[in-house]
Amino acid sequence: MNRSVLVIICDFLLISLLSLANFDQTSGEDVGPAGATAVEVQAVQDMLEVLQQALAQEQDTRGALSNQLATTQEDLDARQQELAERNRQIQEAERSLRESEARLRQLAEERARLQQAQEQAQQQVTRLEVQQQLAETNILALQEQLQAATSEATVSKATADAIRAELAARRDEVRQLQSQIGDLQQTAFAAQEEKGRLATNLTRVQTEALMFRTQLEQTQEQVASIVEEKERLQEHATTLAKGIDSVAQESQTLAAEIRENRELAPNAIYQAYLDNRLQSSSRATRSGFLGIRAGDATEASVVLFRDRDQVFVLYHITDTSLPLWGGGGDWQEMTVVLARGGQNVNLDSLMFVSSDPRLLVATLDAATVARVGVRPFEVSEDPSKFQDAVIVGGKEGYYGEVEFKLVPGLPRYLKMSRRPLGKIFGKFSPSKGDLAFSKSGELLGMMVNSQYCALVRSLPPARVVPLGKEIAKHRTSLIGAEVSRRLQALPLSLQ
């Protein structure tokens, strides 16, 4: 109860007591019972009225206080809600600030890393250009040495031929002299009188013969020396030729290395894809209800790639009539035909690869590749050499650069960024079946879903599926069930 109300009630009781007391009557007079009762009743009624008024006033005060308390509580709740909203906004602002700072640091680190990679690439290109210039200079010098050695060998050969001719002439002269000596001896025996003259002639001829023999020996020594010099020159020319071959081989190696590290424009890669793609058609049939033949037909654009001296054609399972899941009827016959420029190639079989159940390949021999007139793509030996890849959509006709990342624990896959970084041509939405190329134009692999690319380097086969009527023995419904089990065994992100 309020303190002011208590004070009013106490005052009222005091006044009532004073009003009941009769100070004017003498002590000997008696007051009648009727008068006293009337006074007491009146006093009680007055007191009740005062109490009712006080109670009503107290209730009004309490109502006002309750209303004020409710208003104050509503204001307090509104202020608390406003304070909570401000705290939430402050927390969101702080979180956004932290995220912006983290993103800024990440971008700074990425920029530094890219600058460092660019500098290293530029240094490597400069080093390769210097090596190429040195190689070209060495080739020119060796060619000049080879020409000089060839000229010297030609001169030496001419000299040797002249000496041989002179030696032959000397030998003829020696034979003639020997014949003359025989004639002189016969003449000496026949004509004794001419013995002295013939003896003199014989001595002269023998002296000349000795001189000729000495010259002949010297000539033979010169010929042997010339032959030895010729052999030495030939050895030197062979050494120079080997050096030129070695330098040429090193130059080819440098040129190949420069070519492998040279980035191609996405337009050039897409043009290479257009120039070397093949049209594949898959047809499958089986007996349906009431003997009616049911079938399936699939068309797709495919490419060839070379891996370990073997040429393969690459398929996503949805590009064929093979089932991705179990169930359904079995195909009794299936054909897959490659076509380009009026040339058709019927495939004998398809092979599932062990790395991903959605990829299939088929082998082609060199004669078939030459007949269809396309160039197989080389497989990238180092997918991490570039930061971006070029995605080509065979069905939608789009292509563009996409950043990718290596995935720990998944060495056979690359994770493509959902947000394209480079210039995009056409409708760009990477999906399963798209091809991924490196910036140097080498084939990386095929997209198995919208994010992950399966690499095609060193693909070990998991199962061979013969085509034609032989496929009925393998039951395509069981093949689909096996593909489904293998797919469910993969991590969820790859499915």
**Domain-by-domain residue ranges, the chain?**
130-261, 266-494
Q: Is 428 helix (H, G, I), strand (E, B) or coil?
A: coil
In whole angstroms, give the CA distance from residue 439 to residue 453: 15
Contacts of 308 (CB under 8 A, 6+ apart): 458
Q: CB count, 10 Å around CB of 165?
A: 10
- Nearest-10 crossing angle of helices 33-190, 3-20: 170
Looking at residue 107, what is its pLDDT?
80
Helices 195-261 and 33-190 cross at an angle (nearest 10°) of 170
% of the chain beyond a pLDDT of 70:
83
Q: What is the DSSP letter of 262?
A: P
Q: What is the pLDDT of residues 96-106, one digit of tens each?
A: 778 877 877 88
Determine the pLDDT at residue 420.
47
Amino acid at 163: I
What average pLDDT score do residues 438-451 get?
93
**Class of 130-261 in CATH:** mainly alpha
Comparison of pLDDT for 240 and 388, the residue scoring more: 388
Determine which of 232-236, 351-355, 449-453 has the lowest per-residue pLDDT on average: 232-236
* 3 state DSSP class of 394: coil
pLDDT at 326: 76
Give the Cα separation of 213 and 337 in Å (integer): 85
Q: Is the pLDDT of residue 148 over 70?
A: yes
Joined tokens for residue 390: 């070029």
Highest mean pLDDT among 55-64, 135-144, 192-201 belongs to 55-64
The predicted structure's pLDDT at residue 83: 80
pLDDT in tens, 65-122: 888 888 888 888 888 888 888 878 888 777 877 887 787 788 878 788 878 877 887 7
Half-sphere CA count of 382, side-chain side, radius 13 A: 8
Which two structure tokens, joined as six digits, stand for 441?
A: 């134009």
Average pLDDT over every residue of 216-227: 82
pLDDT tens-digit profile of 428-442?
667 889 999 999 999
DSSP letter at 349 equals: E
pTM over 0.85: no
d(CA 300, CA 277): 10
Report whether 290 contacts 325 (CB < 8 A): no
Phi, psi of 129 (to 5 degrees): -65, -40
Average pLDDT over residues 348-361: 93
Higher pLDDT, 229 or 356: 356
Reported as a single tens digit per residue, the pLDDT across 281-328 is 999 998 866 656 778 899 999 999 998 889 999 999 999 999 988 777
C-alpha dihedral sign at 293, 298, 302, 307: negative
pLDDT confidence of 422, banded at 50, 70, 90?
A: very low
Provide mean pLDDT across the span 143-165.
Answer: 75
